[in-house]
C-alpha cells in the first residue's frame, strides 16, 4: 500500500501570538470592550484570555473552527423536535411550501436534453425589408 504525504501547511490558519487571527481578535476585542464599558482594570484579564487560547491552540490549531461549527450547528438545528432530539442535517435545502402552490422558477429548464424556459432573442440586425 502506497502512502501519500499530506502537507498541512496550507490548511493551517495564520497565527498571532500562537492563536489563530480571528479567535485572537474576538477574544482580545471582547475583553477590551468589556474593560471599556465596565472598568479599565478588566484589561488585566487580557493576558489570561490569550494564554488560555494559546494553550488550546497548541494542542490543536483547528479547535476554534471546531467550536465554531459546533456552536453553529447547535444554534441552527431547527428540526430537533421532529426527530426526537437528534440533529439531522441534509445537503439539500428544502423550503416549506403550501399544498397545491405553484412553483415560481423563471430560470432556464432542461427538459429531455433541450434547454427551455424564457427565451431571450439576441440583439442583432433588424429586418428592414418590407413585404
DSSP string, the chain: -------GGGTSPPEETTEEHHHHHHHHHHHHHHHHHT-GGGGGGHHHHHHHHHHHHHH-TTHHHHHHHHHHHHHH---TTTTTT-----SS------TTPPP---S-EEETTEEESS--PPP--------
| Within-domain flag for 45 | yes
Give residue-wise pLDDT tens across range 19-74: 998 999 999 999 999 999 999 898 999 999 999 999 999 888 888 888 888 888 77
* 123 domain residue, yes or no: no
Residue 33 resides in a domain: yes
Q: What is the mean pLDDT of residues 92-108?
A: 61
Within a domain: 44: yes
- Cross-strand partners of 111: 114
| Domain assignment of residue 91, yes or no | no
Query: What mean pLDDT, rounded, does the chain reach?
Result: 75
Least confident of 10-14, 19-23, 40-44, 90-94: 90-94
Residue 31 is predicted with a pLDDT of 92
Q: Is residue 30 part of a domain?
A: yes
Q: Which residues contact 58 (CB under 8 A, 6 or more apart)?
A: 18
17 lies in a domain?
yes
Per-residue confidence (pLDDT) for residue 15, from 0 to 100: 85
Question: How far apart, in whole angstroms, are the C-alpha atoms of residue 38 and residue 45?
Answer: 13
Amino acid at each position: 500500500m502506497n502512502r501519500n504525504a499530506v502537507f498541512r501547511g496550507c490548511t493551517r490558519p495564520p497565527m498571532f501570538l500562537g492563536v489563530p487571527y480571528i479567535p485572537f481578535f474576538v477574544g482580545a476585542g471582547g475583553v477590551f470592550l468589556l474593560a471599556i464599558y465596565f472598568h479599565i482594570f478588566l484589561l488585566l484579564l487580557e493576558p489570561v484570555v490569550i494564554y488560555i487560547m494559546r494553550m488550546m491552540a497548541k494542542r490543536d490549531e483547528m479547535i476554534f473552527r471546531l467550536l465554531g461549527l459546533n456552536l453553529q450547528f447547535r444554534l441552527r438545528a431547527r428540526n430537533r423536535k421532529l426527530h426526537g432530539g437528534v440533529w439531522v442535517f441534509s445537503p439539500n435545502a428544502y423550503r416549506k411550501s403550501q399544498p397545491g402552490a405553484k412553483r415560481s422558477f423563471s430560470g432556464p429548464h432542461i427538459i429531455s436534453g433541450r434547454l427551455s424556459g424564457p427565451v431571450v432573442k439576441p440583439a442583432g440586425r433588424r429586418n428592414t425589408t418590407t413585404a
